[in-house]
Amino acid sequence: MASSPRDQHHPGPFSLNKYHVSEEYGFVLPAPLTDLPQYYQPWMQIARQLTELIDSHSLRSEVHKMPQLDTCYLQTHRELRLAHLALSLLTMGYVWQEGEEGTVKVLPQNLAVPYWEVSQRLGLPPILTHADGVLANWRKTNPEGPFEMENLELILTLPGGDSVRGFFLVTLLVELAAVPGVKAIPRMINSMLQQDKQTVQAGLNDITQALKNMTDAIRLMHAHVDPAVFYGIMRLYLSGWKDNPLMAEGLVYEGVRTEPLQYSGGSAAQSSLLHCFDELLGVQHEPESGAFLTRMRDYMPPMHKQLVQDISSGPSLRQYVLDAADPQLTQAFSTCVSQLLSLRSYHINIVSRFITIPAARARQLKNRSEGPAEALSRAPVALEERGTGGSGIMNFLKSVRDRTKEVSIPPATL
């Protein structure tokens, strides 16, 4: 991943405030809106019925009947985020309603134009992103209750039932588990500039603990997401029209551009979390994986992307640890890298369970569609070995894991 020079110092203390990152929620949007003003109800009504309309093969006809609404009445950031979520889901449903065999080449103007305008105002692409489905798509059942699966619901959803809820909300809990680690980053950058080793070491410990908690949160996928449903149903609706053989040319956004546009589908690589930790720890990815990860930053809210870039251009933590030659600090750094490695190894196990193994089963079940095999038999064949973001998933994840190992500091360097 291309990095800016690390010898530039930040003017004044480094702070999360300017990046729209919350002290309590991190990159998650605090208290997302659950409804839009009356004028925008045509979008919300269809978005709330999305699954039923797809099941009855009538979503496209309902979209065609929608009035083309003016986006000028969307005034707040939260209104724009909910509008983007709703229009994203309408778009994914519209494109994939008939499965991999019945894709469309054109998104109709009454959906494409407002979607484009909202996307431009937010600095997000006109496709469903991690920032939509995870960061801005949650509400507490009991507002005073805890941040736990039992007290969380999605605002809007896609086909896949409880597994969609589980997938998005478990990912939300991973984001929240990371917050203490994200908050440690500006403290560490400021402390490096002030030669305050103790605070740097404490920050490394905070990130290590956050990475452990993130790994524990990911484990909840097993309880809340059915691999057959994820592979056979959900994955298609999370897929985009870039690096996707099902839509090799892309999608025409009618009334926006005459030529097709290509956008990647939703991906964990669109979360700012590991980008921040990688840049802080100095992980350098190999060219192909690095190029994909860098491109995924264009799918983040602009200020979150800016934070990643500013961490990259800050002082090098790894060099600071090497120069300090302090055994405890070096140990804290290596432990942190090891924990990031553990998280990435566990993510590979998750992907194997939810993509690689179902892909193998789907190939065996091509000519059978009875019982539990039904979802797998409908799985998008062209996407067998790819992530929803369009990456060759296993090679990519193993490359990222292997490059993470390389930043650890061997004891011999002390």
Tokens of 380: 């998008």
Q: Give SS3 for 251.
A: strand
Q: φ and ψ at 199, to 5 degrees?
A: -70, -35
Supply φ then ψ for residue 251, to 5 degrees: -135, 130
**Coil, helix or strand at residue 210:** helix
Closest residue by Cα to residue 306 from 14, 7, 12, 13: 14
Residue entry with tokens 């350098």: 284
Q: What distance in Å separates the CA atoms of residue 100 and residue 160, rounded to the nearest whole number?
A: 16
Query: Is 90:47 a contact under the CB 8 Å cutoff?
Result: yes
**Residue of 209, 239, 233 lying closest to 354 (CA atoms):** 233
Tokens found for residue 289: 């994986």
Which segments within 43-151 are labelled E, that is strand?
A: 106-107, 139-140
Give how far Cα 101 sits from Cα of 219, 261, 298, 382, Å: 34, 20, 29, 11
* 275 assigned to a ligand binding site: no
Reference 182, options 160, 159, 209, 143; nearest CA is 209
DSSP 392: B
CA 112 to chain centre: 23
3-state helix, strand, coil in the chain (%, to 5): 60, 5, 35
| Nearest alpha-carbon partner for 92 in 155, 156, 158 | 158
Annotated binding-site members: 347
Annotated binding-site members for heme b: 347
